[in-house]
């Protein structure tokens, strides 16, 4: 039984490595194309949502022991998975002013 679990873990690790390599290859092929990289990020977010709302929801614990085991694993392995979105201020920090005398926008009322 323990051998089967070890094999399953190895298979999963191998699949995750393949996924990681594929994603990095896609990023490299999108180099310097922010629209393409944004599409990639959107796809990853969509996959995250589908897995969380589908397969993960179906495997949630049905008793206290299973819940304890899941929470223990979450704590030990780095917390809850989360895809963070870039904050607008960080996004805007990458913009360089077009003119050294940066004009401020004013609104006439």
> Which pTM value belongs to this model?
0.70
Q: Which H, E and C letters describe the chain, residue by residue?
A: CHHHHHHHHHHHHHHHHHHHHHHHHHHHHCCCCHHHHHHHHHHHHHHHHHHHHHHHHHCCCCCHHHHHHHHHHHHHCCCCCCCCCCCHHHHHHCCCCCCCCCCCCCCCC
| Reported confidence tier of residue 105, pLDDT bands at 50, 70, 90 | low
**Per-domain boundaries in the chain:** 1-31, 33-78
| The predicted structure's pLDDT at residue 16 | 96
Residue found under tokens 């194309």: 33
pLDDT of 37-87, one tens digit each? 999 999 999 999 999 999 999 999 999 999 999 999 999 988 888 878 777
pLDDT of 5-23, one tens digit each? 777 989 999 999 999 999 9
pLDDT of 94-104, one tens digit each? 776 765 444 55
């Amino acid at each position: 039984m323990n051998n089967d679990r070890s094999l399953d873990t190895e298979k999963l690790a191998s699949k995750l490595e393949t996924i990681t390599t594929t994603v990095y290859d896609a990023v490299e092929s999108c180099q310097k194309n922010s629209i393409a990289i944004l599409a990639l990020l959107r796809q990853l977010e969509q996959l995250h949502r589908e897995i969380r709302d589908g397969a993960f929801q179906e495997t949630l614990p049905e008793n206290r022991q299973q819940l304890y085991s899941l929470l223990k694993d979450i704590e030990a392995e780095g917390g809850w998975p989360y895809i963070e979105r870039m904050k607008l201020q960080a996004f805007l920090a990458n913009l360089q002013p077009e003119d050294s005398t940066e004009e401020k926008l004013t609104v006439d009322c």
